[in-house]
């Protein structure tokens, strides 16, 4: 067992929405905050409530930005049907539903803006992270957090983005083995007070979602590129395990495509996220 996965964090048994609200402060004033002990997927729950709309009798419809925090998530989702695995109370698992007054295509770069936001907030807690295109947050080269953004249009035609985030706090060794790829835990003391961390993340996200809405990804491109985990490194772009491209990762462009310098071309290729994956080239 490596030292990384030993130290259990003394997790509080119950998260308080009131404390998260207090820590989030004025930037998140218009946000609702809900905490549940356990659910399958916080993203799925919020998406169902958006689809149900305000006239739904069975679902508690969303009328304002809403943060849903699950102490335990049993069916966390990743991109393209992949799974996000966590042990009970050993991770922060939450989703923020945010209504956007923008067309769907304006949200293409949103995962990158969210990644930069998470990195900036964690830096305030003394935790350095890097970003792996398009949607992973790494700590010391290991995956610390995942981001999954899904969208839905309510019956009143309001477009919502549901921003799902999972951050590892104290992953058991057995789960690490099950995942089979290097994962990181949030170091102490950042992981000590989950309500403070959630409040700070909500505050930062609320501020940056407003900025994304008014300025688009342009406001985040430099910030993302400063945090780029593989800047200047040789990487592979994979589609279901098959190599599509190989080259030097330069960074993202104004619409969030990864610029890849290949041997073949003079100008870099611009890669759209889709369902493809980036891996560092070994050796
Ligand atoms: P990409 O590298 O393209 O982002 P990905 O494999 O990281 O793809 P995601 O959808 O971002 O895919 O995340 C899901 C994947 O993350 C899972 O398939 C698994 O490999 C890994 N994973 C699942 N749970 C965790 C966790 N708690 N911590 C770290 N990694 C995890």
- Averaged pLDDT, groups of 10, the chain, 283 residues long: 40 82 95 96 96 72 95 92 91 97 93 98 98 97 97 95 97 94 94 96 98 97 98 94 94 96 90 86 78
User: Which residues in the chain are classed under CATH 3.30.930.10?
Assistant: 9-226
How many angstroms is it from 149 CA to the middle of ligand 1? 14
143, 223, 248, 281: the active-site residue: 143
User: Which residues in the chain are classed under CATH 2.30.30.100?
Assistant: 234-280
Q: In the CATH scheme, what is the code of domain 234-280?
A: 2.30.30.100
Q: Atom of ligand 1 at shortest distance to CA of 181?
A: 20
Identify the residue whose C-alpha is closest to ligand 1 atom 20: 179
Q: Provide the pLDDT for residue 57.
A: 61
Number of H helices, E strands in the chain: 6, 14
How many angstroms is it from 122 CA to the middle of ligand 1? 20
Under 8 Å between Cβ of 120 and 217: no
Q: What is the pTM of this model?
A: 0.92
Q: Provide the pLDDT for residue 156.
A: 93
Active site residue 281: no
Under 8 Å between Cβ of 218 and 211: no
How many angstroms is it from 84 CA to the middle of ligand 1? 6
User: Kind and range of the H or E element at 42?
Assistant: helix 42-52
Q: Which of 149, 181, 241 to mutate to test the pocket of ligand 1 (most atoms within 8 A of CB)?
A: 181
Cα 138 to Cα 107, 118, 125, 127, 246: the distances in Å are 23, 11, 15, 11, 21
> HEC profile for 136-179?
EEEECCEEEEEEEEEEEECCCCCEEEEEEEEEECCCCHHHHHHH
- CA separation for the pair 272, 256 (Å, rounded): 8
Tokens (6 digits) for 2: 């490596």
Identify the residue whose C-alpha is closest to ligand 1 atom 2: 277
- CA separation for the pair 106, 217 (Å, rounded): 9
Q: In the CATH scheme, what is the code of domain 9-226?
A: 3.30.930.10
Active site residue 77: no
CA 272 to chain CA centroid, Å, is: 18
Active site residue 82: no
What is the residue-wise DSSP string for 185-250?
Answer: -PPTTTTT-HHHHHHHHHHHHHHHHHHHHHHGGGGTHHHHHHTBTTTT-EEEEEETTEEEEEEEEE
> What are the pocket residues of ligand 1 if the criterion is a CB atom closer than 6 Å to any ligand atom?
78-79, 82, 84-86, 135-136, 143, 146, 166, 168, 179, 181, 183, 277
CA 249 to chain CA centroid, Å, is: 21
Identify the residue whose C-alpha is closest to ligand 1 atom 28: 183
Q: Provide the pLDDT for residue 176.
A: 94
């Amino acid at each position: 067992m490596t030292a990384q996965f030993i130290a259990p964090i003394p997790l509080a048994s119950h998260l308080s929405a009131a404390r998260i609200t207090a820590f989030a402060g004025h930037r998140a004033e218009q946000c609702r905050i809900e905490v549940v002990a356990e659910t399958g997927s916080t993203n799925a729950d919020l998406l169902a409530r958006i689809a149900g709309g305000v006239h739904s009798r069975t679902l508690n419809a969303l009328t304002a930005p809403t943060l849903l925090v699950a102490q335990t998530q049993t069916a966390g989702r990743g991109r393209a049907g992949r799974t996000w695995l966590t042990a009970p109370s050993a991770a922060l698992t939450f989703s923020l539903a945010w209504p956007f007054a923008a067309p769907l295509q304006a949200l293409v770069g949103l995962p990158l803006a969210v990644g930069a936001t998470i990195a900036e907030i964690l830096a305030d807690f003394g935790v350095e992270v890097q970003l792996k295109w398009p949607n992973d947050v790494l700590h010391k080269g290991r995956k610390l957090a995942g981001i999954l953004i899904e969208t839905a249009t309510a019956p009143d035609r309001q477009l919502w983005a549901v921003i799902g985030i999972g951050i590892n706090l104290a992953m058991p060794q057995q789960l690490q083995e099950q995942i089979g790829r290097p994962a990181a835990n949030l170091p102490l003391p950042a992981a000590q007070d989950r309500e403070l961390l959630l409040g700070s993340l909500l505050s930062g996200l609320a501020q940056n979602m407003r900025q994304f809405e008014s300025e688009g990804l342009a406001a985040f491109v430099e910030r993302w590129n400063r945090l780029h985990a593989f800047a200047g490194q040789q990487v592979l772009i994979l589609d279901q395990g098959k190599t599509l491209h190989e080259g030097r990762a330069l960074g993202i462009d104004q619409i969030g495509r990864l610029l890849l310098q290949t041997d073949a071309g003079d100008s870099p290729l611009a890669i759209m996220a889709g369902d493809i994956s980036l891996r560092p080239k070994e050796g």
